[in-house]
Homo-oligomer: A and B are copies of this chain.
Amino acid sequence: MIDGIALALSGGVGGAKLALGLARVLASEELAIVANTGDDFEHLGLHISPDVDTLLYTLSGINNPETGWGRAEETWACMADLKRLRGETWFRLGDKDLALHLYRTAQLKNGASLSAVIDGLRKHLKIGPEVLPMSDQPVRTQVETDEGLLQFQQYFVRRRCEPVVKGLHFSGASDAAMTPRFAQLLASSTLHAIIICPSNPYLSIDPILAIPGVRQAIKGSAALTIAVSPIVDGSAIKGPTAKLMTELGVPVSPTAIVQHYGDFLDGFILDEADAGLASSIETSGIACSVTSTVMRTLEDRTRLARDVLDFARTLRPMKQ
């Protein structure tokens, strides 16, 4: 139990793990999770929303823990036949995963907002906490690379993050608006904490922050904002964060993450491996908490969730 609502900002796997921990620790009405939709794209006529789906599958316990995306106990009959027909199979969609995609695409075609569709999926999958897309309008991450400008999934899945990244663009962000419920939560006096999950800051959190008004709303919020470091001992737990930081000329260090988020952070959670950085970060005015941030088991997820919430509780008097 907390005195208000915790709002988590999440990208893919790492974010979903912490979100699951928070969902186990908090009552349903105490948690809302905002997902990055910069990774979304249209493929095979379907609306693909990878970070939303990773959240939905993880929170409902039907995710594939080995791949980090898609469904557990998946079958691949459709992809096998699509290959036979020489269709595009570089972006893998399992038979079960396709069901969610057909549902979402049909609902969107019928005029439903992405928020409404995701809320329907959340209910059908019996997920308690709210899951919100950052925006109902399309925002599409584009990666400027040494091979030219690539759509995010072309970079991430098709080219397996191999091209050297020179910059990132969030196409459509300036014309997009926060989803109404996201804006409402950020403005709410009952918001207890804003938790930036240990997702890739550049690829997963920045698209959320690129939507007009989000940074200001976080800064002006009654809640404390706490980020969990996605960098542990000079590398990322999963995904291309470290490679990307190197290519962008940023040291692969939690300190760089703190500097990247800038002035809206109240607290930062460091892994034990980086405990030595706490004092220098605190000198810059950001409170630090050191804990084990690596989430291998469900217990790790709930323990880290508790640590984050406890940290917010201890910091609260500072803000008031």
Contacts and interface: CB of A to CB of B under 8 A. Distances in A.
A296 interface: no
A131 to B, nearest CB: 14
Contacts of A109: 42, 45
Interface in A17-50: 42-46
B87 A106 contact: yes
A78 interface: yes
A130 B125 CA distance: 45
A309 B54 CA distance: 58
A99 B124 contact: no
Given A45-B109, A84-B124, A75 B95 contact: yes
Interface in A56-98: 71, 74-75, 77-82, 84-88, 94-96, 98
Nearest to A73: B77
| Number of copies of this kind of chain in the complex | 2
Contact of A78 (B44, B102, B120, B125): B102
Interface in A220-259: none
A261 interface: no
A260 to B, nearest CB: 37
A103 interface: yes
Contacts of A43: 106
A204 interface: no
Interface residues of A, number: 34
B100 A98 contact: no
A95 B74 CA distance: 12
B45 A124 contact: no
A105 B45 contact: yes
A287 interface: no
Nearest to A71: B81
A121 interface: yes
A71 B82 CA distance: 13
A45 B75 contact: no
Question: 5 tightest A-B contacts by CB?
Answer: A81-B99, A77-B95, A45-B105, A82-B99, A87-B103
16 contacts: A42-B109, A44-B102, A44-B106, A45-B102, A45-B105, A45-B106, A46-B102, A78-B98, A78-B102, A80-B96, A81-B99, A82-B99, A87-B99, A87-B103, A87-B106, A95-B98
Given A81-B95, A87-B102, 6 more contacts: A44-B106, A75-B77, A78-B102, A81-B100, A85-B124, A87-B99
